[in-house]
Amino acid sequence: MQHHAQGRTPPIPRHIPPYVAPPPSYVPSRHPSGQYDWSKPDHPSGQYDWSKPDHTEEQHVQEQRVSFMEVGRTMLEKTKKAIKIRNCTMRELLAEALGTFILMVFGLSSVAQVVLGKGNTGQYLSINMAFGIGVTMGIYAARGVSGAHLNAAITITQWVLGNLSWTKLAAYITGQFLGSFMAAATVFALYYDAIYDYTQGNLTVSGPTATAMIFSTYPAPSVSLQGAFFTEFTATVMLILGVLVIQDEKNNAALKGAQPMLSGMLVLGIGLGMGLNTGYAINPSRDLPPRIFTAMAGWGMDVFTADHSWWWVPVAAPILGCLAGVFIYKACIGFHNEPDHETENKKEEAGTETSKL
């Protein structure tokens, strides 16, 4: 009281630190870390602008998005390291499996839709088109890894010509059979309800409600076994001739990017012209694995004994037809054709020898 009366300021207790206001140059400002930066003023007036948050909502969402992307990339890299296969033969096996799977899912599902829909959801043309599309997509999928044979007859022919080893022969055929078998199982699961509704639970190879032809080929009733064999043989000759014409770089080959599409059109053409007698299997990998699946799935061993044990024809005839087709092409074109640069080199060599005389 005495100090107040004299107009003096009372002393500050030692245990209470005096408040010292920071100078204007040390007013806190926003910082990317979210902490106050006392070194820079936030506002021209020297006061902190409390109306602006440190991070807007959009910035927060963007940061979360970037964080999730980093986590996703990290997980993808770890998964890649864990499952990456370095063995070349195994990679080719998987490529053949995937390519054949794509081919067969397109083809078999189209047959199922036509048969089970009783002609109301597709016609024979739609089956041909679906197999052509399946061939195109299957080749695009596997070509960069394995060359996309997708056909055991072509694989065996390549082995006979010395272009494949025993190991790769086994790997290619295993991959093709695996992909084809899994495709048959996929289509069976896809149309399971429709199959049992159509057949009333009676899975048969022949008869008015036969459904085995959805998965494998069977000859027409009017065709003999010999006629069916010749049909498959001839159709496969045309298949391999077309493939060689499309891919032979010594003989005006098609552009690499267009070759799968042209191969699909080739299969479409074979189906349109040679499918009546046997359904144009032209590929053991297309016919045998689904036939094994149907034997296991409820159709029984009739799939092997029906039509005078027809099952071996779509296996043997395409192999022989493929070998014959390659020989025909080599005899007519391949043995007599040379790439342009070799011809030019020979002409230059001949000119050099002539000048020396």
Give the mean pLDDT per block of 10 residues along the chain (357 residues). Answer: 52 54 50 52 52 60 69 76 86 97 98 94 94 98 96 97 95 98 98 96 94 96 95 98 94 93 97 96 97 97 94 97 97 81 53 43
What six digits make up the tokens of 9?
């300021």
Residue with tokens 């016609």: 123
Secondary structure letter of residue 52 according to DSSP: S
C-alpha distance from residue 319 to each of 153, 215, 239, 347 (Å):
4, 20, 11, 40
Residues belonging to the chain: 357
CA distance 345 to 347: 5
CA distance 167 to 106: 29
What six digits make up the tokens of 355?
């000048």
Q: Alpha-carbon torsion 93, 96, 102, 107, what sign?
A: negative
Residue 244 sits at φ, ψ, to 5 deg, of -65, -40
- In this prediction, residue 7 carries a pLDDT of 54
Helix then strand count (H, E) for the chain reads 13, 0
CA distance 91 to 320: 28
CA distance 227 to 307: 13
CA distance 104 to 351: 55
